């Protein structure tokens, strides 16, 4: 991650506080620059439900059209739907206007290339160079491409996305329908508020939607981590549901609540999804460096090789392409199945979990209990007025295997610790994992005291 002015720029997008670092003028300029980067063509635009989304969307659209690009507006949809639409439509690129799990005051521009995947780090840096060379907001050279791009609305891409999930070779909708699963779904009033019911109804589920009013104001903190899912846990118990699912605002991440109303933890979305897919297809897998070691168990059990990358969806998808991987993702609730598309996909992930439950005849809790239990702690420390001395920390935790690909990761025989600068927030992330909770807490506590 690096900063351009007060904007945070990384492979996870260009994000900032709306009206502060991210203004309509800035969004328009990035729209123009992205259009120049793509060299015209069709560009798919979608957004989440944030109340300031239409303003940023309009500014980006104007910038793209001024650069000669044709804007295809697919409305309020999940980020995976935008990726899917770019890939299937043969467009030059796309943009999802969403700050994902960031608080409501944030928004972001997630930039998507012609393959339907996010831009790589080198591509982002090239785009920023173009941005720094641009002529500001004065409208110079508008139409210099000898045309102003067109604008059209294309509805139905979310339904095409759902149909593609149902058509996957690893999903048997008829088997799932016979189970008549009772499901509670927390949409955080985000993009999945519109489309969740279509998927679950198609799978024959008896559903209860909560937080599904797409007014752009989040009724809980937007990240689907366990401490934010108290209402969902309560509703799963009251509804006597088989499972609960919690999305983030743009639907690329999903967390699971078991049939007893307890959160499994977002790491289990990837582990369970990967475990099921590997019963159907054998091949290498790719996950990020911050994901749980339960995924290593899943890979060993299946007899396949596991690769780890730097954090960031595009880093995982690029590795999956290179190794011919059959499945991958990120432990924050993001599952990637390349036969669907090269991107984390929350809607696809819930179909995979329901399929796993249906085909195994087991509850989601029983499936989770088949994987060794670890304790993983994730903390965020604001960098305001503080600094991180990675070299000093490395010396204190001597004896472990050192991985410097993304911050600092120290790996021991039965535990690990990582510090890294966030791609999406001005914080340093501390992650520790061990089979013993006391060990995980000791690692996290010790290193947190060293940030000052």
- Rounded distance between C-alpha atoms, residue 331 and residue 335, angstroms: 8
- Rounded distance between C-alpha atoms, residue 98 and residue 110, angstroms: 7
Longest CA span, the chain: 65
- Helices 157-166 & 192-202, crossing angle to 10 degrees? 30
Give the contacts of 230 (CB within 8 A, at least 6 positions apart).
none
- Rounded distance between C-alpha atoms, residue 370 and residue 261, angstroms: 18
- Cα→Cα distances 86→82, 195, 196, Å: 6, 18, 21
Check if 89 is active-site: no
Residue 380 φ/ψ, nearest 5 degrees: -125, 135
DSSP reduced 3-state for 343: coil
H-only helix segments in 328-389: 346-360, 364-369
**Composition of the chain by helix, strand, coil, percent to 5:** 35, 25, 40
**DSSP notation for 129-159:** HHHHHS-TTS-TTTTTTSSPPPEEE---HHH
The active-site residue, picked from 61, 67, 91, 100, is: 100
Residue pointed to by tokens 């002529």: 135
- Rounded distance between C-alpha atoms, residue 114 and residue 197, angstroms: 30
DSSP reduced 3-state for 445: helix
- Rounded distance between C-alpha atoms, residue 68 and residue 412, angstroms: 54
Structural tokens at position 437: 């909770």
- Cα→Cα distances 177→163, 200, 203, 357, Å: 15, 10, 5, 12
What Rg, from alpha-carbon coordinates, does the chain have? 21
| Residues catalogued as catalytic | 100
């Amino acid at each position: 991650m690096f900063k351009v002015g007060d904007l945070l720029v990384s492979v996870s997008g260009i994000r900032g506080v709306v009206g502060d670092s991210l203004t309509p003028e800035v969004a328009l300029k990035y729209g123009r620059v992205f259009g120049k980067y793509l060299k015209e063509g069709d560009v798919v635009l979608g957004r989440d439900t944030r109340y300031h989304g239409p303003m940023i969307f309009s500014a980006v659209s104007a910038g793209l059209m001024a650069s000669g690009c044709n804007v295809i507006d697919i409305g309020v949809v999940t980020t995976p739907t935008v990726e899917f639409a770019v890939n299937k439509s043969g467009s030059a690129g796309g943009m999802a206007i969403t700050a994902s799990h960031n608080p409501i005051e944030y928004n972001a521009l997630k930039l998507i290339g012609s393959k339907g995947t996010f831009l790589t780090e080198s591509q982002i840096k090239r785009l920023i160079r173009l941005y720094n060379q641009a002529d500001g907001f004065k409208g110079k050279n508008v139409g210099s491409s000898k045309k102003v791009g067109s604008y059209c609305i294309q509805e139905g891409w979310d339904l095409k996305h759902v149909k593609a999930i149902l058509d996957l070779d690893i999903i048997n909708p008829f088997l799932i329908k016979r189970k008549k699963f009772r499901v509670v779904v927390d949409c955080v009033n985000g993009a999945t508020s519109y489309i969740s019911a279509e998927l679950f109804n198609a799978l024959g589920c008896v559903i209860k939607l909560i937080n599904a009013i797409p007014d752009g104001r989040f009724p809980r903190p937007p990240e689907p981590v366990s401490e934010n899912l108290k209402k969902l846990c309560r509703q799963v118990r009251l509804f006597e549901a088989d499972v609960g699912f919690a999305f983030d605002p743009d639907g690329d991440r999903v967390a699971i609540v078991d049939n007893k109303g307890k959160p499994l933890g977002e790491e289990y979305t990837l582990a369970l999804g990967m475990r099921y897919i590997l019963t159907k297809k054998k091949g290498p897998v790719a996950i990020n460096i911050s994901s749980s070691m339960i995924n290593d168990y899943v890979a060993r059990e299946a007899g396949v090789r596991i690769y780890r990358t730097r954090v960031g969806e595009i880093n995982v998808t690029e590795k999956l392409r290179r190794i011919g991987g059959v499945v991958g993702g990120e432990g924050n609730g993001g599952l990637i199945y390349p036969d669907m598309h090269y991107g984390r996909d929350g809607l696809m992930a819930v179909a995979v979990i329901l399929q796993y439950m249906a085909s195994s005849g087991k509850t989601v809790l029983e499936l989770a209990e088949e994987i060794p239990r670890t304790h993983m702690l994730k903390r965020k420390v604001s960098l305001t007025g503080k600094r991180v001395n990675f070299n000093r920390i490395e010396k204190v935790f001597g004896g472990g295997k050192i991985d410097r690909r993304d911050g600092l990761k120290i790996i021991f025989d039965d535990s690990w610790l990582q510090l890294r600068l966030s791609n999406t927030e001005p914080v340093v992330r501390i992650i520790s994992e061990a089979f013993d909770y006391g060990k995980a807490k000791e690692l996290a506590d010790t290193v947190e005291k060293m940030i000052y």
